[in-house]
Structure 1
Amino acid sequence: MREKTTVPARKYSVRFKVLILLLLIVIPIWMFSFIGLDYSIHLIKEQIVASHESSLKLYMNEVDTQLDSVQQYLYRVIVDDNKVGKLLAAKNHSDYMLQKYILYSSLKNDALLLHMVDSVFLYSVEYDDYLSVDIEYPSNPYENHKSIIMSHIGKECTDPNFPIGRWTVVPMGNEVYGFYVVERDGFYMGTWIEMDRILGLLQTEENEIPVLVDNEDRILTPGVLKGKDHYPSTSIEAVTEEYLVVLVPSSVGNFRLGRLLESRNILENLPLLQYVLLILSGTSLVCLILGMSLLRKMLLLPLQQLSNVTTNIAEENYDYRIPLGEKRDEFYYANRSINELLDTLHSYKIDIYEATINRQRVELQLLKLQIKPHFYLNTLNMIYTLSRTGKYEMVQELAYNLIQYFRYLFRQDFDMVTLGEELGHIRNYFQIQTLRYPDCLDLQIAAAPQLLEVKIPPLLIQPFVDNSVKHSLKVQQLLHIQLEVSTEDIDGQEMVVIQILDDGVGFSGAVLEKIQKNERIVDESGEHIGIWNICQRLQLIYGRKATVHLFNRESKGAGVRLQLPLTNREGEKDEHTVGR
């Protein structure tokens, strides 16, 4: 019996594989497009940062050079200039004031050398005296910053960590100042500059914001982000989402100069590229859908039809036909050839079915003709003997049973009989054997009345009863044969179960082995086709639904179990009845 062919799982279908193939092509294209766009943005930003860093470094180098020249001037004055030495060596207050005035005049004369800064200041810890020299510079609108200076140096110092000898940027109120201070024997000399002057000289374009940042990434000039209330802090990290940050550190101070570049202006041409990429992605998606639709119509549906054909052929259903359609392509001619093949197979199936029916009828006739000559001759001899002895009633009974036996055996108008008819034939056969062997045979038949109309193949049970009598009958020893008919539900189907049991010698191991291998049984009396014939007939009629099981009973004797589907009762259409 063929195994049922199932439709392939969806994940193994051609449609699924084609879809996966297209996705494996399209998805990498999308991924590479977006990765390429991201890389382009990153590359553009790197190039812009490199360009601005180059210009910022030039400007920062210039600023550092000027600040360094101021440092050198202050060191030269406080260390090498005799005026500071005489001021420190003053013996009294009047001498101190005289040397202070001389130093002040000297610093005024050097104002042109200090044009970078806003003011130079002097402070004596001993005299608690502060002197500021404002540089005469046209763009210097600033006044004295004594209070600011004094909060970082001297007796009023509130910042003991204020560095000496290095430019330090300190935010004070709304302004940011750069300080540089040197010290000698309690005498401080320094300079300061408002950092907006340095930022003001930094060339920027319309969408660029100059910024001053300390070494802790704090923006020291928050005023440059005026109107940007959505920045909650002055940390440089707060602006990196909207601005591209370019910073260059100073080599002489604790600050960095930089520019904030608005990202939307830097990448103003990239949105167009993004739109183009989105349009291409959407177009490719639409093309994918249209391609899948066309592929389904032109390839997948014809392949599905071919799959349906192979499934129906595997199930031996040759009535299926593929719709040809009007388009005369390769599939049209292939489908037409397949339909012609199905027509041929259907014709072959009918021929094979008819040949099978004829074969079954021939084998049934062979079984009917399997009459042992000794059984026929012995029965006639017994009739002769009984007639000579005047036992005419027994002669009549034996002759009647023999007539009924052969009438049933040689019937030509049936392929299926009722169970009651088969049991009647067995009783006639058994009555003949009982008359031949008195007190040697006992037959018990157990069958429910409603089962007597069940259809079964003719001569299905009698060969097994005959086999028990032939091989187990012994003179002066009673042979019990028990025939039971019942129904059982097996795997959801109602089955007729027929058991023939005896208490004779049982089957030999060789016979059981040959029956299991579906081989013909041959013993010393010649070829026994009865049992093998029944197995073949049941297979032809019921396929694998019917089974024949031969076994030896645990106590004593042989057993046969026939199992076949429950057929319709008399008067109903029987699907297992072969053609008439």
Structure 2
Amino acid sequence: MRQLRSVTNSLRFKLFATILLFMVPLIVVILVNDHYSVQVVRNQVAQSNKNLLSLYMNQIDSNLIDIDNYLFNLSERNTDLLQLEYPGNKGTNEYSLAKLRLYNDLKSEIEYYKTIDMFFLYSAANDDALLAGSSDYGSTFEERAAVQDEIRKLLASDLSAIDYEKWHVWNSGSGYYLYHLVRTGNVFVGAWVSADKLMTPLHLMDFGEDGGALLATNELEPMQLAGKVAEEEIDLHYDPESFALAGRERSYLVMGEASAKGEFHLIALVPQSAILQKLPYLQRISSAITIGACGFLILFMFIMRKVFLLPIQRIISAMRKLKDGNWQAQVKPYSTSTEFEMMNATFNRMIGEIRDLKINVYEEKLNHQRAELKHLQLQINPHFFLNSLNIIYNLATVKDYAVIQEMTKCLVAYFRFMFRSNSYIVTLRDELAHTRNYLRIQQLRFPGHLSYRIEAPEELLDSGIPPLVIQTIVENSIKYAVNLDGMLEIAVRASAEEGPAGRLIIRIGDSGSGYPEEVLAKLQSDEEAISEEGENVGIWNVKRRLRLLYKRNADIRFFNEPEGGAAVEIRIPTEAKGE
């Protein structure tokens, strides 16, 4: 929600929204007007072409009806057909004369029916065909022979399933034809016409440069323009009362009319580009205004971005870098307006002054932290010193001189480490040796009641660690967990953390009774756990030093083991002492 408010409250958003507030209604009105005009013109063109298709389809059906009437009259009234009906007559003089008279009748009549390519007769009883073609069908002998072969193929097919009331489509492989058969006994009288011939008058109509008209079968397979239909992916299904949009990007108007006499359709394809060319000039001007408005909006935004938004964006980018802590961020000099040049120069000077001030404050803070670290380390020394004197006093009381000698040797090593521990970092090797020496002192102090184990890989022994961290935790365990009625075991183990962080893990655990719940709750939080008597000052000291040295890169965790005993886990960055 905050990010959304930041975007909507930006100067860029407000500027863009203001422009859209004025431009969008204008563009919407123009687009609606364009769409309405295109739809009106589209409907007018569709209706005009629809009327033309209906007129021409009626003309085709009317011609086909005339041909049907002639075929019915011929089959009913011409007695010469009787000679072809009965088998065995073929080859006789009467049969031949009847064929000749029929041929002359068909030949003379076909000249009156310019639509037809050929009349034909077929005697099923004698398997004999008679063909009479018009004077203009086939420009060559080969073409006429091909048509005659197609008719013979038709006659050789199964004619029993044909609807004798309809004109049918014949696909020869090289072209489409329409035919009609009338049956009288065993004789078939038929007419044959090329589908292309029926389309000749429509070629004179203007359907646009890429448009056209075609005949289609009942399954809407195109008889013409098949390549265009496939290439443009035009679906020939149409609305009988209106039009359909088809083709890639719906770029064609599809209108059609079904034949009342045959199993075919007459379909017109009109490209929308041809329709739009017929729009009034005012409509074209409105389209130009729409395009100009969009172009103006883009140009305006480009200019505003270069003159206003980009300089502001550069300042904002520098501010974001400052927010992320990059105090070296500057607005680089570039050619811009005078006002922005002054803003950039003032911004750079202000950042330089703030950076200098921050450096001074940071150095002062570092000096303060160094003084605090030294104070914390010195705070430990009197505590250990008093403990060591108490140990020597107890040993002198029991007059165990051999143990006093070993104790004195251990104390010399112990205080030697203490007196040189003013540095902030020592090696893990030295810290573990000091801790081992301290545990030996305590083992001499509590014989038979304390044992310890220290483990660390060789490759980690040169890692840097704050001094007295491990020894302080061990001292706390001995102070609160040693019980003269049993054995206390203390384990110190160092290991490397898996993963990209690669921190040093130091785990200190004991076999005592563990932390009390209220003490553990304070230790697990950042709450200071020092009592009025000064208890837990060592643990607070360790936590404070880790925070000063490593910030959030180090952590210390206190918990009780499931099987009993207190445990502390310290994680610090793995660094060599010199680092």
Encode CA deviations 1:477-503: one digit per residue, 9 max, x unaligned.
Answer: 32211111111225x422221111111
Q: Where does residue 292 of structure 1 map in the other structure?
A: 301
Q: Where does residue 519 of structure 1 map in the other structure?
A: 527
Q: Does 1:367 align with 2:376?
A: yes
Q: Where does residue 442 of structure 1 map in the other structure?
A: 451
Instruction: Supply the distance in 2 between the matched residues of 1:10 and 1:420 (Cα, whole angstroms).
Output: 56
Instruction: Supply the distance in 1 between the matched residues of 2:496 and 2:203 (Cα, whole angstroms).
Output: 98
Query: Quick one: which amino acid aligns to residue 555 of structure 2?
Result: T
SS of 1:523's partner is coil
SS of 1:469's partner is helix
Determine which of 504, 528, 541 is the counterpart of 1:496.
Answer: 504
Instruction: Supply the distance in 1 between the matched residues of 2:476 and 2:518 (Cα, whole angstroms).
Output: 16
Instruction: Supply the distance in 2 between the matched residues of 1:6 and 1:407 (Cα, whole angstroms).
Output: 60
Q: Does 1:451 align with 2:460?
A: yes
Deviation of the 1:548 alpha carbon: 1.1
* Map 1:104-183 → 2, pairs under 5 A: none
Deviation of the 1:8 alpha carbon: 12
SS of 1:520's partner is coil
Q: Where does residue 117 of structure 1 map in the other structure?
A: none
Is 2:449–2:486's contact at 8 Å kept on the other side of the alignment?
yes
Deviation of the 1:473 alpha carbon: 1.7
Is 2:421–2:467's contact at 8 Å kept on the other side of the alignment?
no
Instruction: Supply the distance in 1 between the matched residues of 2:317 and 2:4 (Cα, whole angstroms).
Output: 8
Instruction: Supply the distance in 1 between the matched residues of 2:397 and 2:327 (Cα, whole angstroms).
Output: 67
Given the two structures, how large is their TM-score scaled by the length of structure 1? 0.53
SS of 1:559's partner is strand
Q: Give the root-mean-square deviation of aligned CA atoms.
A: 4.9
Instruction: Supply the distance in 1 between the matched residues of 2:429 and 2:4 (Cα, whole angstroms).
Output: 45
Determine which of 32, 36, 46 is the counterpart of 1:35.
Answer: 32
Is 1:417–1:457's contact at 8 Å kept on the other side of the alignment?
yes
Q: Where does residue 111 of structure 1 map in the other structure?
A: none
SS of 1:568's partner is coil
Deviation of the 1:413 alpha carbon: 5.8
Is 1:520–1:528's contact at 8 Å kept on the other side of the alignment?
no
Instruction: Supply the distance in 1 between the matched residues of 2:38 and 2:531 (Cα, whole angstroms).
Output: 95
Q: Does 1:548 align with 2:556?
A: yes
* Map 1:176-195 → 2, pairs under 5 A: none
Q: Where does residue 568 of structure 1 map in the other structure?
A: 575
Encode CA deviations 1:2-29: one digit per residue, 9 max, x unaligned.
Answer: xxx9999999987678667656654543
Is 1:519–1:532's contact at 8 Å kept on the other side of the alignment?
no
Deviation of the 1:465 alpha carbon: 0.6
* Map 1:165-564 → 2, pairs under 5 A: 228=205, 271-371=280-380, 376-377=385-386, 379-380=388-389, 383=392, 394-411=403-420, 414-490=423-499, 492-523=500-531, 525-526=533-534, 528-564=536-572
Deviation of the 1:445 alpha carbon: 0.3
Deviation of the 1:464 alpha carbon: 0.7
The 1:305/1:413 distance shift into structure 2, 3 A limit, reads farther
Is 1:322–1:339's contact at 8 Å kept on the other side of the alignment?
yes
Deviation of the 1:554 alpha carbon: 1.8
SS of 2:332's partner is coil
Is 1:455–1:569's contact at 8 Å kept on the other side of the alignment?
yes
SS of 2:503's partner is strand
The 1:355/1:521 distance shift into structure 2, 3 A limit, reads farther
Instruction: Supply the distance in 1 between the matched residues of 2:488 and 2:371 (Cα, whole angstroms).
Output: 34
Identity of aligned residues (%): 36
SS of 2:423's partner is coil
Point out the more displaced range, 21-30 or 520-529. Answer: 21-30
Deviation of the 1:561 alpha carbon: 1.0
Instruction: Supply the distance in 2 between the matched residues of 1:412 and 1:38 (Cα, whole angstroms).
Output: 88
The 1:437/1:396 distance shift into structure 2, 3 A limit, reads same
Deviation of the 1:371 alpha carbon: 4.1
Deviation of the 1:296 alpha carbon: 1.9
Query: Quick one: which amino acid aligns to residue 505 of structure 1?
Result: S
Q: Where does residue 160 of structure 2 map in the other structure?
A: none
Instruction: Supply the distance in 1 between the matched residues of 2:242 and 2:206 (Cα, whole angstroms).
Output: 11
Pick the structure with greater CA Rg.
Answer: 1
Encode CA deviations 1:59-107: one digit per residue, 9 max, x unaligned.
Answer: xxxxxxxxxxxxxxxxxxxxxxxxxxxxxxxxxxxxxxxxxxxxxxxxx
Instruction: Supply the distance in 2 between the matched residues of 1:40 and 1:306 (Cα, whole angstroms).
Output: 49
Instruction: Supply the distance in 1 between the matched residues of 2:39 and 2:473 (Cα, whole angstroms).
Output: 93
Query: Please, which runs of 5 or more residues in structure 1 have no aligned partner?
Result: 47-172, 174-224, 240-266, 575-580
Q: Where does residue 95 of structure 1 map in the other structure?
A: none
Deviation of the 1:534 alpha carbon: 2.1
SS of 1:430's partner is helix
Instruction: Supply the distance in 2 between the matched residues of 1:434 and 1:527 (Cα, whole angstroms).
Output: 22
The 1:377/1:425 distance shift into structure 2, 3 A limit, reads same
SS of 2:568's partner is strand
* Map 1:68-107 → 2, pairs under 5 A: none
Instruction: Supply the distance in 1 between the matched residues of 2:525 and 2:469 (Cα, whole angstroms).
Output: 20
Given the two structures, how large is their TM-score scaled by the length of structure 2? 0.53
Corresponding pairs, count? 374
Instruction: Supply the distance in 2 between the matched residues of 1:322 and 1:360 (Cα, whole angstroms).
Output: 34
Encode CA deviations 1:524-573: one digit per residue, 9 max, x unaligned.
Answer: 632533222322332333333322111112222211111223x23356xx
The 1:510/1:361 distance shift into structure 2, 3 A limit, reads farther
Instruction: Supply the distance in 2 between the matched residues of 1:530 and 1:420 (Cα, whole angstroms).
Output: 21
Instruction: Supply the distance in 2 between the matched residues of 1:470 and 1:460 (Cα, whole angstroms).
Output: 16
Q: Where does residue 204 of structure 1 map in the other structure?
A: none
The 1:374/1:319 distance shift into structure 2, 3 A limit, reads closer
The 1:527/1:474 distance shift into structure 2, 3 A limit, reads closer
